[in-house]
Every structure is written in C-alpha cells, then in structure tokens.
Amino acid sequence: MNIIKNILVTDGNSRAALAVTRSLGSKGYKVFVADSAETSLASNSKYCSQSIVYPDPVNNFNEFCSSIKKIVNEFKIDLIIPVTDVCVFPISKLFKDNELNCITPIASDETVSLAANKSKLIKVAEELGVNVPNSQIIESKNDISIDYADITYPIVIKPSRSRVMIDGKWHFTSVTYAKTGEELSTILKNTHQEIYPIILQERVLGNGVGAFYCYKHGKCIAKFAHKRIREKPPSGGVSVLRESVEIDPLIDKHSQLLLSHLNWHGVAMVEYKNDENRGIPYFMEINGRFWGSLQLAIDAGVDFPDHLVSIAKNIEISNAQTYKVGIKTRWLWGDIDLMLMLLFKSGNQLNLPKDYGPKWKVIINILNPFGKNMFYEVLRLSDIKPWLFESKQWIKSLKK
C-alpha cells in the first residue's frame, strides 16, 4: 500500500478544488491548495493546511511546469490532484516524462489528449454505436465552402478543444450558434486557424445530463449522475442547480463503452443532451477531470476525491456505485447571475430554447432560498470563509 499524507490540489479558485479540499482535509490528509493567486476559494477553507502560489498555467506553461516540480520536492507531496484542464494537461505530460516524484490518479497523456479532442472522440463514439447529434467536422478554413444543408439551423458551432495552445498560451474557446448560412460563414472565417477542427452540430433541445465516473485502469469503480435544473447561461452552460438521479441505463452503457475503450484511469464526466422530442440521449463530450458540481456527488454519498486517494493507495473500494437520489446542490452566486441574465436580456439574446418556459417562473424559483434535500455548494456554515471570499469577489465583479 502506498503511503499518502501530503496532497497537492491545484486550481484553488475553483469550486471543485474546494470540494476536494473539504473532502480530503476532513479525513486527516494534509492538503496544500495551489493557485496562481495568493488567496483562493479553497485556500480559505479551514481544511487547507497551506496555500501555495504557482505561475499562471494559462499564460506561463513552462514556468508552471517548473514550479510544480519544485512544489512537489519542497513540500514532499505524495499525491497531486489537478482539477482543471489547464493543469491536467501539463501535469499529465510531466508524469509521461517521469519528471515528478509522486503519484497522480489521472489517465495517460495520450488518453487525456484524445478525450479532450471532441472531433476525434465523435468518430470513436460513432464507431462504438454511441448516439451523437448529426455532425460535420470542418478541418480547416480551407473547408468552409462545403455544403451544410443536411444540418438544420440553428447550427451549433463547437471547437474540437475547449482550450487551445497558441504561442505558448492557453486560449479558451466557446460554443456559438448560427441561425443562417451567412452567419455561419462569417463565424468560421473569423475563427483562428489553430482552433480548428470545428464541429457543426444540429441543436439538441433538452436537459443536459452528466454521468460521472471513477475508473482504475479501465475498470469502473464508482459512478454517479445528475440532471441540470438550471444553467448559466440558460441556453446551456454551467449548472447552478442540479439534482442527483439514477443513471439512465443507455447513458451508463455508452459512457462505460467509451471509458473502457479509452482504458480510462481517474475521474471523468461524460456529458449528454437528452432530446425530449426523440427520447434519445446524445453524447456531447468527455471531461477528463473533476466537474464544477462535484460537491453534489459527495453530498449524495459518492466521495470521488476519497476514491481517488484509495486508488492511489491500492486500497480496494466497495459499495461505491450506490447513492441517494433527489439530493440537490445550489451554487448561489451562479444562480443570482442567471437571474440577472433573465431580467436584463431578451430571449433572443440568451438563445433560449422554445421549451424554456416563461422567464418569470424561473426567476421566482431562484428567489426561493429553500428546497427539499437541497444543499448549498459553497455556502457551508461549518466552513464559512470560502463563501465570504466568493461573495466579496462577486460584489467586486459587479463594479467592473
């Protein structure tokens, strides 16, 4: 059994890092929270033993890698848990090159890169018989004159990678929409060549569904599912209120087909859109890292951070695939952001789907602070400082 005492958690300003810190710190591990800022969301937790600053991984890739190596040696880190993609990618490369003297429970560098490439993953999914939306892949700007007639407008324009390295810096991409062929051509022509391939997809109307897994070298150890009740932005984005549900058997089957095919190791979120008209869940992407709503899984009884540590220790995990359904977690300030969007932007500006319903009903639900089996994600009276920190940051953002 591997002995693990000191754990490094990256991306301290993320809600997932806070959930990891609370989980592992409450179990007696010494958790070092690292971020590019001196003070972060997770470093304010009482479960953080020490806050560490590293160079911004978005703009300083090489400096970040050098800093991680120094941190591991200086603080005698036994286990690294990278939380976001911008840290998963360089840390997976460091392990590939045998430059870190510790453990990390993530998939190989090649597997991580494949999972992050949506255009390649779509092809894998189709070969495995997994349902994907009607899609076309535009490999480069030289291909933008092809005929898109077999995809119904509005068309979803989705870069293959959520983050792209250009001139040594990470550039974040986003999903956009085109309502006409002219609008589509304009968007494609104005997209940087390095961001290609671009995926064009039919828009699937329905709730986003996430299936969450922990794997040990291709074997499923734990699983979990939720449904998104409210998202920011409302056309599809980050969930601000979500509820634990039983995993749809077809989603579970397809997710495990994909992850087993990839010989996955560590945690992963497999995303789908549930087409309510056709009754079919369509595969969207795999995120090979912790997800923003991690706290919901922990609240429902699936402690993914603890499972990762057990895998790193080579400890057998049992009874990890059952959990409570009907548990909800709410990201309060994200929900308030959603309310402000609904108040001050039109349905067209927000790209609201036709089945979204009246905005005023959603606003009334947001204003209700209570709910059955509902937890607040950041706001915890037993560990209040992270929420106070987040509240100050949110108020500052309003003044900009």
Q: What is the pLDDT of residues 243-275, one digit of tens each?
A: 999 999 999 999 999 999 999 999 999 998 888
Q: Where are the domains of the chain?
A: 6-104, 106-131+205-400, 134-202
pLDDT of res. 266: 96
Q: What CA dihedral angle connects 42, 317, 286 and 234, to 10 degrees?
A: -50
pLDDT digits (tens, 9 = 90+) for 109-152: 999 999 999 999 999 999 999 999 988 888 887 776 656 557 78
Backbone angles phi, psi at 220, to 5 degrees: -75, 125
**6-104 with 134-202: one CATH topology?**
no
The pair of structure tokens assigned to 278 is 């056709």
pLDDT of res. 384: 98
pTM over 0.75: yes
Residue type, 360: W
State how far the Cα of 235 lies from the Cα of 243, in Å rounded to an integer.
Answer: 18
The residue ranges of the chain whose pLDDT is under 70 are 1, 144-149, 319, 400
Q: Which residue has the tokens 């429902």?
A: 300
CATH superfamily of 106-131+205-400: ATP-grasp fold, B domain (3.30.470.20)
DSSP state of 141: G
State how far the Cα of 212 lies from the Cα of 108, in Å rounded to an integer.
Answer: 19
Q: Cβ–Cβ contacts within 10 Å for residue 168, how many?
A: 9
HSE (side-chain half, CA atoms, 13 Å) at 145: 1
State how far the Cα of 280 lies from the Cα of 283, in Å rounded to an integer.
Answer: 10
The pair of structure tokens assigned to 124 is 């894998």
Closest by Cα among 156, 154, 346, 329 to 234: 346
β-strand pairing of 328-330 with 238-244: antiparallel
Q: Cβ–Cβ contacts within 10 Å for residue 127, how many?
A: 9
pLDDT of res. 400: 65
6-104: CATH architecture: 3-Layer(aba) Sandwich (3.40)
Asked: is 134-202 a CATH 3.10.50 domain? The reply is no
State how far the Cα of 27 lies from the Cα of 318, in Å rounded to an integer.
Answer: 18
Residue type, 351: N
pLDDT of res. 319: 66
pLDDT digits (tens, 9 = 90+) for 80-95: 999 998 999 999 999 8
